[in-house]
Amino acid sequence: MPAIRTSGLTKQFKKRTAVDSLDLSIEQGELFALLGLNGAGKTTTIRMLCCVLPPTSGDATLLGNSIITQPTAVKQKINVSPQETAVAPNLSVQENLELIARIYGIDKSEARTKANETMRAFGLFDRSKDKAKILSGGMQRRLSIAMGLITEPEIIFLDEPTLGLDVVSRRELWKIMSGLKGKITMVLTTHYLEEAEALSDRIGIMHEGRLRALGTAEQLKQETGRTSFEDAFLALTEPEALL
């Protein structure tokens, strides 16, 4: 069973088709990068897969459960670090983490243990008592990702996780993500192409709501006859792409 399978997944906002008949299959344990220019439809796709935005048509199954008919089952298996960092501003770092753990049904003492572990892994331990709103933007981002992982989801969606992170934090997050490869399914969006190339098993490139290319970074370079992944990406996102 694939981790994610979409069939004809479509989202229409009035006249604009943000996601257009997406057919995609992502394997369990895969780190899948969903790339595309601004407005390509990445976040809209993720929001539908997380059951926060109903599709206009089509469906998707996550570990066999439909986002339309079984959203409760889907939500138990997934978590998300959204593009617009979502932390409760008036709760402390520790409280934010414990809250999410508790929402997912983890008991109080385990939630505390997990929050401690997670704060250490994300370099937030010495800020544990600080309210989220006084953290720097990058630290809030790290907290948001930590909140995505603390529940040990089977599938995690990371929408531009490294945006605004300093070089050290970015590399640390890469290490965490690499360490999770094969264990959980990760769907990553990023505008840092070298990040997608370095980390992902496969890459899907969306363009104007459609999936325009799919494969490993190496395959996409070969298909386009380009030596750098950035050149391959540019070729695949031209208005009249070669493929």
Ligand X SMILES: Nc1ncnc2c1ncn2[C@@H]1O[C@H](COP(=O)(O)OP(=O)(O)OP(=O)(O)O)[C@@H](O)[C@H]1O
Min. distance of Cβ 18 from ligand X in angstroms? 3
Q: Which does 133 bind (CB under 5 to 8 A by kind): ligand X, Mg ion, none?
A: none
Min. distance of Cβ 12 from Mg ion in angstroms? 17
Give the contacts of 135 (CB within 8 A, at least 6 positions apart): 93, 127, 143
Does the footprint of ligand X cover residue 212 (CB under 6 A)?
Answer: no
Q: Which does 39 bind (CB under 5 to 8 A by kind): Mg ion, ligand X, none?
A: ligand X
Does the footprint of ligand X cover residue 42 (CB under 6 A)?
Answer: yes
Pairing mode of beta strands 202-207, 31-35: parallel
Q: What 3-state class would DSSP assign to 195?
A: helix
- Distance CA(180)–CA(18), nearest Å, equals 30
Residue of the chain from 3, 4, 9, 18 that contacts ligand X (CB under 6 A): 18
Q: What 3-state class would DSSP assign to 107?
A: coil
**Binding-site string for Mg ion from residue 60 to residue 99, where x marks contact by CB under 5 A and - marks none:** -----------------------x----------------
Residue of 80, 93, 99, 100 whose CA lies nearest to 128: 93
Q: Which is nearer to ligand X, 119 or 205 (CB)?
A: 205
18 in Cβ contact with 12 (< 8 Å): yes
Q: Which does 81 bind (CB under 5 to 8 A by kind): Mg ion, ligand X, none?
A: none
Min. distance of Cβ 165 from ligand X in angstroms? 16
**Region of 36-44, 127-135, 150-158, 214-222 interacting with ligand X (CB under 6 A):** 36-44
Residue of 97, 94, 82, 76 whose CA lies nearest to 42: 82
Helices of type H across 69-206: 71-77, 93-103, 108-121, 137-149, 167-180, 193-199
| Binding site residues, ligand X, CB under 6 A | 13, 16, 18, 36, 38-44, 83
The contact set with Mg ion (CB under 5 A) reads 42-43, 83
